[in-house]
Each structure stands twice: as structure tokens, then as C-alpha cells.
Amino acid sequence: MKANHFMRFFLILFITYPLFFLANPQAVLAQEDSFLEGQVFEVATNNPLPGANVYWENQPQKGVVTDLDGNFRIPRIELPSKLIVSYIGFEESIRVINQKDHNKPLRFFLQESQMALEEVIIRDRRPDENVKSLDMGKSVVAIETIKNIPALFGEVDLLRSLQLLPGVQTAGEGTTGLFVRGGSADQNLIQIDGAPVYNPSHFFGFFSVFNPDALSGVEFYKGNIPSNFGGRISSVIDISLKEGNYEKVRGEGGIGTISSRLTVDGPLFSENSSFVVSGRRTYADMFLRLSSNPEINSNDLYFYDLSGKFTFKLGEKDKLSVSSYYGSDFLGLSSQFGLGWNNWVTSITWNRNISERLFFDLNAYHSAYQYNVNFDDPDNGFKWGNRLSESGVKAEWNFNVTENTLINWGVHSQLYNFAPISLDPAPGSAIEPIATNPRNGMQNNVFIGAATDVTDRLRVDAGLRWAIFQLHGRGVDYIYAEGEPSPDAEITDSLVFRPFQRIKGFNGLEPRLSFRYLIQDDLSIKASYNRNFQYLQVASSSSAGLPIDRWILAGTYVPPIRGDQVSVGVFKNLEGNKWEVSGEVYYKDIKNIIDLRQGANILFTDNVESEILTGNGYAYGTEFLLRKNTGRTTGWLSYTYSRTWRQIDGISFDQWYNPRFDRPHDLTLVLNHEFNKRWSAGLTFVYTTGQAVTFPVGSYEVDNQRLPLYSGVRNDDRFPDYHRMDASVTWKNVDKGRKWKGSWNFSVYNLYGRKNPFAYQFTEIYNDQINFTPTQTDVIESRRPGVVMTYLFTFLPSVTYNFNF
């Protein structure tokens, strides 16, 4: 019955609104005269200023906020009246609006406040937004906030900063993989300007691929994912590359402990177009070359990334932007061995304001990821590589029906191409070449969503996404005896498919529904339900991603993952939005997640399905957040209690078990303080329950080897609790009108040198030396069982010089 009510509401919402406006067009037109419209700019750059508050004098509660293009639209009151435009860090602009101004386009230019250095922006959003919006489990993180967080090696890192938000776990020390509300790392859709990034990490996951100087912002959805996003069940991390300014050429960058970066932006050809290019490179290999030891100076170890965005205003209503990101890693040994991987992501976006209420966005993208392993050896050499790509087109319409009613709809087509894994031995090698078959897929999605105020206090947002996925040729599907793939099952036949010939298809409806009830102006409760399907995932049994991880598409033997999440939250603001308090509880149900059979070898097999085990999972948790938004001291304190479970036949006696990232208690404190215009400081403290792991319960000997004995129950033990404090101090050169402005950042990772375990190895210790690995001729005087703990990064200081001009 509940489902019927829900569907009825949903149908009514979507059917009645378009009919209402078709049947009663003057309802829209009648309101035209009752609004005043304009645009807000930053005076220094002439860039539109999103998120500025616009309100009539003495009526701040009835104010509005400028959109991404700086536009606002505010209900008119009796004129003349004073209209106020304000934004944190900028001087307030007050203008008297007369009757004659009513039909003119209003333009406001805000000047950066002289006191701006004393403020730190936590979030670019309007007051009370967290209470009044329908957003649940959503964080809008300002890049300035991320830059103020003390960083490992001084490398400001977007994904590592997101790990400080409630509900986000890490797999382990230093890694950037995100485990959101019980989901795996491959269940996050990470995209730049609408294009997905398949491997968002450098250096085996210790750094993320995003250069903070190149970014304008990030929106992180972990609860109610809007219907215009889909394809991953746990979260969406929607990252926007910065748009260049239209006034003059500017630059910013930094020289850090392990890398340097530079970003330049400015007008391109005319005042209607702009560019921004950004680059970053590490220089560990340059230090290696200084060594006189040829065994050291012939090695390579670096990563770099380049990004650019070109924006063209094609008139009053149209904007076109082209952006591209390329990031690459390389590890080379003695010019003979090389491991490299790279992402190349390109997108083109066309924004058109069809009318004052109707907006259209068209986004086309191509994202490719590849790795290559090259071993140059006449006897055992080989070249091994793989490439996967996704191309897509997404069209979306947003219609502001009334001030409080929004509808959006669109279509999204995706084409997946997972190329064969190839291994080509050197001509003299004894091994034979390998090439798997390709996997290809197409996914078409349609989506629609609407949000409206049902009453003054109740706001409802409903959305529906329908994804149709098809695995198609060129490719090969195998038929197994008795229908079920397994390593022992005989392959009775193989079916070869032509390009675009259907192999297997799936489709699923993905409803979204959320409510907000405003108890008071600064207190609300919210609830949401979300369903998502995911048609591709990583086949891996380790917790951290590797460059050679194998992505697989849903198909004949691997069904898509289905994720359902319900969440309820209470949101409260205090002292005029100075403080925000929120609490959310959630429950997530996951179907058809995969793991690997014991001893599975999937790197080169064409029968991945025979190495895969499928099962289910669930997660639940409660998250609390206390955030201070303004003043000299800003930051947040969060606490999460969460659990996550998996049940996969063939693992842990078919019983429920915790994945490694199940870490029930998670406490985070992030503080920033501005002492004066020159000095500021940041402090971060994290505490989490130790990772769920498997320790031995005994030992035994087989084949002259001493082996640890495991109980068979997976992850029934725990690492010790993890805690760490980081701190940073920033000194800024006070602006005295000079063009070049610099600042120094001194940071320390793991301030009190806590030895948080990265790994425990259960091994034999020879000659009482934990790192002694006997060669064939070494004398072994003693051997005994032991446990060797590896830990990373104790008291790691770093310094970075940042500048802009």
C-alpha cells in the first residue's frame, strides 16, 4: 500500500505540473512583473559571483541567492526600496531601487573586503541553506576550505579532505580511496566537468589526481543523489574545473616538498572568452638523478597532471566551455622496467538560457584510462597493457516553474569500451602472447525530477531515473556446463558477437524521494529514499585500488549492483547561522556486490566470471556534525557511528562479515584560525576504530614452510584504534598593492608521531632481524615466528610556498 501511495504521489506530481502550466500559461506570465532580476559580479575579476545574498532592507529572511552565473531573481516589493547584496569576504552593496529601475537589467559589483583575510569561507552557500534545502547527505566543499586543511607532504588533496566528512571512511593510512556509507571505492562516481574519472589517484592511491588550483568547487552526494546523476550506488563527487577570468591574465601556484604547480588564467581573444591552464609535477626523480649511484639515478618515479578549460560566451544566452584533464604516473627502473598509467578526460559543455526560467545544458565527454607495463629484457621481456574508456552525452533541462517549484529532466547516453588485455612477450621470450576479448556496453538513461513547496513548511523533491544497459559486441560469451561459471566448470561453447550485437541487457527504475519539514526557520527534519543501479565494478579482493585493477561490466553472469538507501536527519542553525548542527541516520541495502574466489587470477583470464563470487551487503549508521561557519575560528566536529556487512557465498563460511573499511567509531575535528592578516593556522584530529582484519589463530607446517593458521572467519580482528593530529601554519605577505603575493605554509602530518599500523605481517624472523631475507648462501642462525608492523608517516613536516600574481 505504501508503494502505491508513493507511486500515486509521484505520478500526480509529474503529470499535474506540466498540465497546469500548459492549461494556464498566464499563471507564469502573471508573475513576471512581480520579480526583479539582476546579476552580481566580483569587481576585481568581472566574474559572476555565485552564492551572493540578495535581499530587501529589513527583510533578510526573504532574500535569494545568486546562481552559478551570478543571476538573481527576487520578489518585488513596494518601490523605492533598498536592495542589499552581500557575500562573505566582500563589501556589502546597497542600492536604492526606484520604479524606473524595474525593467532594467541590474548589475552589482562587489569589492573584496579589506577584512577578508580575517574570514575563512567554509561553504559557498546562503544562510539557512542546510536547514531549508532538501539536501541530505550532501556537502558543498569550498576549495579554499580544502586548501586550509593540513596536508600530507603539504599536498592539498581533494579526496583526502572529503575523508574528513562524516560517513566517509578510508581504507588505510595515507590512501585517497573513499568508502562512503558502507560502499566500496568503486561505488563512487567521481567526475570532472561531467566526465567520469576511472582511476582518481596518483602513486598507488596516496595522492588524488586533482590539482586544487585547477578546481572551482566540489559537490559531494552521499545520501540523496539527485536523479540527474546515476551509475554508482554510494556517492557522487561532482568536481568543476575552474573557469578563467575575463579581465586580465593572472597566475597562481606553489612550490612544495614533492611537487610544484602553476595555474594561469585570463581572457582569450576577447572579453567574451577565457582560458585557464594548470599543471603539476612531482620531482622525486630529479633528486634521484643527482645521485652518483647508477642504480639510483637511472630510476624514474613521478606523476604529473595538466588541465585546461576554455570558455566562450556566445551571446547573452549561450556559453560554451571545453575542458580537458590529463594525468600520468610513471615508475621506471634502470630504463628496463616501466609501469605507467594515465587518465585523459575531455568534456564540452554548452549552457543555454532558453528563457528566464528555462535552462539547457548539453555535456559531451570522453574519459579514457590506460596502464602499460614494459619489461625490456631479451629473455623474459614483455609489454602488457590495457585501456578502458567511456564516452557520453548528457542533455538536461532545468525549469524554474515558480520561485519555489523546480523541474528538471534530461537524457544521458554512455558508451563503454573495455579493450582487450594484451601481453606481448619479447621476440626471444619463452612465453606466448595473451589477448582477452573486449567488453563493450551501452547505457541510456532518462531522468526527471521536481521539487516544490507543498506547504509553507513542507517541501518535497521527487525524481526518477530509468537506466537501460546493454552489454554488446564485439565480444565473446562463454557457456559453462550446468550453466554456472566456476574454475572447475567445463566450457561447453563460446558465442562470438558482432559489434553492437546484444549480449545481455538490464534495465531498472531508480526512484528518489525526499522531504523537508521546517519546524522553525532554523530547524528542520528531512527524510529521503534513493535507489541506484551500477552496471560496472572492479573485480578485486584487496582494499586499495591498483593501477592494474580490472573493471568489469554487468553481463550474462554478473548482474548489476542495486543500492537502496533511506536516511532521516535533523538540521539546526544557531546564533544566526554562525553554527550548524545536524544529525543523520541511514540504512543502505546492497545487492549483487562481487568478490573474488580464493586464489583467483583475473589479470589475464578471459573468463573473469568463473573467478567471481556474488553476494549482498548492508550498512547503517548515524552521523553528527557541528560546524562553525564564520568568524576568526571556523571548522567542524563530526562523529559517525556506522557498521557495514557483506554476505557472499564462498567467503567466511557463507556468513555475514565486515569488510576491512568497517570502522564503527569515527571522530573528526577540523579547525582553522586567522590570528591576523599575516598568520593563520589549521589543525586536524581524526580518531577511528581500527580496520577489520584477519589475524592468525595458530600456525602449522607444510612443504617445509611455516604458515599462519586462519580460522576461516573473515575480518574478525581489529587493528588498534587509529588517531592522528595534523597542524599547519600559514604566513601571508600582506597585500601592499604589489602584483606578486606569496605565502608560506608549514605543515606537520602526524604531529605527535603516532605509529598507526599500515600492515601486520605474520612471518618468520631470521637471525632476530625483522628485515632479514636470507639469500641462497646466507647462514640462518635462528628462526622464530613473529609479527612485523609496518607504519607510515610519523611526524612528517613539509613546507610549501604559494603565490599568485
Partner 1 sequence: MKYIYFLLITLTFFSCQEEVVLDLRQTSQIPVIEGIWTNSNGLNQVHVSYSKNYYSEEQNQVINDAEVFIINQRNGQRVSFVFNEQIQSYLPFNNRLGTVGESYELHVIIDDKEYISIGKMLPPPTLDSLTFKYNEDRVFREAGYYVTLYGKIPFVEENNYRLKIIRNDTLLNRRSDYLLFDDTFGTSILERGFELGGFPFQEGDRVRLELYRLNDDAYNYLSQLVSLLFNDGGLFSPPPQNPISNIKPVDGVGEVLGYFMVSPFISATINITEDDSD
Residue 699, interface with partner 1 (CB under 8 A)?
yes
Residue 527, interface with partner 1 (CB under 8 A)?
no
Which of 204, 283, 326, 618 is in the footprint of partner 1 by CB under 8 A? 204
Residue 468, interface with partner 1 (CB under 8 A)?
no
Which of 26, 100, 575, 698 is in the footprint of partner 1 by CB under 8 A? 698
Nearer to partner 1, 113 or 374 (CB): 374
Residue 293, interface with partner 1 (CB under 8 A)?
no
C-alpha cell at 187: 561505488
Q: Where does residue 614 rank: exposed (0-12), middle (13-18), buried (19+ CB within 10 A)?
A: middle
Stretch that binds partner 1, among 83-91, 348-356, 561-569, 757-765 (CB under 8 A): 757-765
HEC assignment per residue over 328-357 = EEEEEECCCEEEEEEEEEEEEEEEEECCCC
Cα–Cα nearest to 631, from 669, 670, 672, 683? 672
* Shortest distance (Å) from residue 199 CB to partner 1: 15
> How far is the C-alpha of 771 from the C-alpha of 141, rounded, in Å?
43
Nearer to partner 1, 547 or 560 (CB): 547
> How far is the C-alpha of 563 from the C-alpha of 189, rounded, in Å?
14
Which of 3, 702, 737, 779 is in the footprint of partner 1 by CB under 8 A? 702
Own/partner long-range contacts of 92-95 (Cβ < 8 Å, ≥24 apart): 94/57
Rg (CA), the chain: 28
Question: Which residues, numbered 596-635, are part of the site for partner 1 (CB under 8 A)?
Answer: 596, 598-599, 601, 604
Whole-Å CA distances, 107 to 56, 95, 125, 273: 16, 11, 20, 20
Residue 294, interface with partner 1 (CB under 8 A)?
no
Which of 546, 568, 585, 613 is in the footprint of partner 1 by CB under 8 A? 546
* Shortest distance (Å) from residue 182 CB to partner 1: 17
Nearer to partner 1, 480 or 793 (CB): 793
* Shortest distance (Å) from residue 423 CB to partner 1: 8
> How many chain residues are in contact with partner 1, going by CB under 8 A?
84
Is residue 82 within 8 A of residue 96, CB to CB? The reply is: yes
With residue 4 as reference, give the H or E element that holds it: helix 2-23
Residue 236, interface with partner 1 (CB under 8 A)?
no
Which of 260, 541, 647, 804 is in the footprint of partner 1 by CB under 8 A? 541
Question: Which residues, numbered 14-73, are part of the site for partner 1 (CB under 8 A)?
Answer: none
b/e string for 16-38 if b means 16 or more Cβ within 10 A?
ebeeebeeeeeeeeeeeeeebbb
Measure CA 194 to chain center.
12
Binding mask 705-744 for partner 1 (x = CB under 8 A): x-xxxxxx-xx-x---------------------------
Nearer to partner 1, 267 or 708 (CB): 708
Residue 575, interface with partner 1 (CB under 8 A)?
no
Question: Which residues, numbered 313-352, are part of the site for partner 1 (CB under 8 A)?
Answer: 331, 333-334, 336-337, 339
Beta-bridge mates of residue 537: 552
With residue 687 as reference, give the H or E element that holds it: strand 679-688
Which of 320, 406, 729, 759 is in the footprint of partner 1 by CB under 8 A? 759
Stretch that binds partner 1, among 58-66, 85-93, 189-197, 762-770 (CB under 8 A): 762-770
Residue 494, interface with partner 1 (CB under 8 A)?
no
Nearer to partner 1, 432 or 456 (CB): 432
Question: Which residues, numbered 103-162, are part of the site for partner 1 (CB under 8 A)?
Answer: none
Residue 426, interface with partner 1 (CB under 8 A)?
no
Which of 330, 506, 517, 758 is in the footprint of partner 1 by CB under 8 A? 758
Query: Residue 204: CA atoms inside 13 Å, Cβ hemisphere, count?
Result: 9
Residue 89, interface with partner 1 (CB under 8 A)?
no
Q: Where does residue 47 rank: exposed (0-12), middle (13-18), buried (19+ CB within 10 A)?
A: middle
Residue 427, interface with partner 1 (CB under 8 A)?
no
Whole-Å CA distances, 676 to 60, 671, 683: 30, 16, 17
> How far is the C-alpha of 124 from the C-alpha of 122, rounded, in Å?
7
Question: Which residues, numbered 653-682, are part of the site for partner 1 (CB under 8 A)?
Answer: 660
HEC assignment per residue over 533-570 = EECEEEECCCCCCCCCCEEEECCCCCCCEEEEEEEEEE
